[in-house]
Amino acid sequence: MQIKKAMMSGLIAAMVITPAFNPVFAQGADTADTATTTTTTETVKNGLQADGTYYENGVQKKGLVTIDGHNYYFDETTGVMVKSAWVGDSYFNLKGIRLEDGDHSVKGKDHYFFVNGVKVVNTWEGNAYYGDQGVRYENGVKTIKGETYYFKDGAKAVNTWYKDQFYGPEGTIVKSAYAAKGDINVYLDEDGHLATGMFAVNNAYAYFTKGVKSTATKWFTYNKKNYYLVSGNAATSFRKIGKYYYNFASNGVLKTGFATIKGKRYYFKTTGKAGVKGRALTGLFKVKGAYYYGSKNGVLVTNKTLKLNGKKYTFNKTGKCTKVAAIRKLTGMDAKAQKYTSPTKYLILVNKSSHTVAIYKGSQDNWKKVRSFLCTVGKPSTPTTSGVFHIGQTKGKYVKARYFDSYPSRCWYPTRIHDGYMFHSVLYKIASKPGALNNGTLGANLSHGCIRLAINNAKYIHDVIPAGTTTVIY
């Protein structure tokens, strides 16, 4: 067929179709002696149609289409132009035009769009912030990536007070720093609020009330702790206040109890009101049942014997009185025990020469013997190690057990001292309970390094002595 185009007004063009010559009509009288001519008109669509669809040269367009410099979106199924709606992260307005390159209002909320029409999310644009839905934060306090901001009229506020917090030049809350408020400087705490309490500022501890630093010089109690303020700053270190000496920590807290300061021992009172509590005690006084003596400046008398009130008091290197008048003098293991400390209320001494184990109860300089018994220690080729140990100090190994076997013998009630060295019974024949002995020798150097005991003494250590107890072997 031949197709002739005819121009029509608007966006629609007419098509005129004329049939070509058909040889059927030239075969004689039996056929039609003339050909019939038929004219049919079709339309080719171009441009935007009344139903919201769009064509180019008769082809319907769908998806994103650029028309006269604007971007439109036609539904992928129906081909109808999208208006006042989101398509992915792009928005098409009432006229169907995609919003691009800048801040635009969508249904009363501000969004920011890139040049390609994609909305900005979780991003700053100048002093404005667009959240995870792309909506601009307008007013109020918001936390972004761990920092808190105050927004007003769509922008972060800078150098601005809001409630009792100050938002600095970057818009974030100023913390642990001074800020100007009116004609005074106030201090803000670690959360950015007006500080109330004790705070470390400019290498000194000071007391603040609603951000304002105290200027007082006085005793002061805060959070059940005592301070001495000097023009609002907390006193630190050792110092004399009035007639008495006191000791303060680096954070200004009053310290009590024993202390060694520049090589000298003191005791600071642990009870009483502010100003009484914390004084360095002088004269003869008792702490936990032991006597001490403080000189006029509070320094404890050490390594010296004094005559006081008709009695002799002997003070050791810590200032503790170890003898009053005719205090019984300790000798041997009992005297040796007094110098040791233990993390438990028990102490064990082992004298390898005398094959003696002594158990003490109490504390340093006040150990009292509760048991003493004979033992067998290591032979010369496998000696028992000397030193200061703590029961069960070897990690990864059991501390106590009911028994262990060292063929052909069974050792009952083992308690580990360290590594492979233990207290345990003398050697029994292997059986379900103690019975016949293989070797019951005590008072000798015979073992492989462990300390053998009569079974009742091994059981006593096993049952009574806690892990961690100091054990001195010499």
State which H helix or E strand residue 257 sits in.
strand 257-261
- Cross-strand partners of 351: 356
Question: What is the tens place of the pLDDT at every residue in 314-363?
Answer: 999 999 999 987 545 689 999 999 999 999 999 999 999 999 999 999 99
Helix (H, G, I), strand (E, B) or coil at 360: strand
The answer to whether residue 19 scores a pLDDT higher than 50 is no
Task: Return left, alpha or beta for 283; rule: phi > 0 is left, psi -120 to 50 is alpha, else beta.
Answer: left
Buried b (16+ CB within 10 A) or exposed e, 85-111: eeeeebbbeeebbbbbeebeebeeebb
pLDDT of residue 16: 32
Given 49, 66, 83, the domain boundary residue is 66
pLDDT in tens, 137-193: 989 899 998 899 999 988 999 999 998 899 999 999 999 999 999 889 999 999 999
**Rg, C-alpha atoms of the chain:** 49
Per-residue model confidence as pLDDT tens digits over 87-117: 999 999 999 999 999 999 999 899 999 999 9
> Among residues 66, 91, 120, which one ends one of the domains?
66
Residues 456-471 have a mean pLDDT of 98
- pTM to 2 decimal places: 0.44
- Tell me, yes or no, whether 376 lies in a domain: yes
74 is a domain residue? no
- pLDDT-derived band at 69 (thresholds 50, 70, 90) equals very high
The residue whose two tokens read 């121009």 is: 7
In this prediction, residue 21 has a pLDDT band, given cuts at 50, 70 and 90, of very low
Q: What pLDDT was estimated at residue 23?
A: 35
Picking from 25-34, 72-81, 349-358, 414-423, which range would have the lowest pLDDT averaged per residue? 25-34
State which residues form the domain around 27: 2-66
**First CA to last CA distance, the chain:** 124
Q: Is residue 35 part of a domain?
A: yes
| CATH code of residue 378 | 2.40.440.10
Q: Is the pLDDT of residue 365 over 70?
A: yes
Residue 445, domain member (yes or no): yes
151 falls within a domain:
no
Q: How many alpha carbons lie under 13 Å from residue 199 in its C-beta half-sphere?
A: 25
How many domains does the chain fold into? 2
Give the residue numbers annotated as catalytic, written as ranges: 424, 450
Supply angle C-alpha 344, 347, 350, rounded to 5. Answer: 150
Q: Is 391 contained in some domain?
A: yes
Domain end marker among 66, 96, 120: 66
- Measure the CA angle with vertex 456, ends 455 and 462; round to 5°: 85
Considering the domain boundaries, does residue 372 fall inside one? yes
CA distances from 430 to 212, 343, 375, 438 (A): 80, 36, 21, 9
Return the pLDDT at 464. 98
pLDDT at 2 over 50: no
Predicted pLDDT at 41: 58
Q: What's the mean per-residue pLDDT of the chain?
A: 89
- The answer to whether residues 425 and 453 touch, using CB atoms and an 8 Å cutoff, is yes
Burial class (CB in 10 A: 0-12, 13-18, 19+), 264: middle
Closest of 96, 97, 81 to residue 49, by C-alpha: 81
pLDDT tens-digit readout, 416-459: 999 999 999 999 999 999 999 999 999 999 999 999 999 999 99
* Predicted pLDDT of residue 330: 84
Evaluate if residue 33 carries a pLDDT over 60: no
- What is each CA distance from 194 to 179, 207, 358, 397, 401, in whole angstroms? 10, 12, 62, 55, 60
Q: Which two tokens stand for residue 95?
A: 């006229």
- Contact assessment for residue 207 and residue 227, using Cβ atoms and an 8 Å cutoff: yes
Residue 428 lies in a domain: yes
**Mean pLDDT, rounded, for 38-43:** 60
Residue 122 pLDDT greater than 60, yes or no: yes
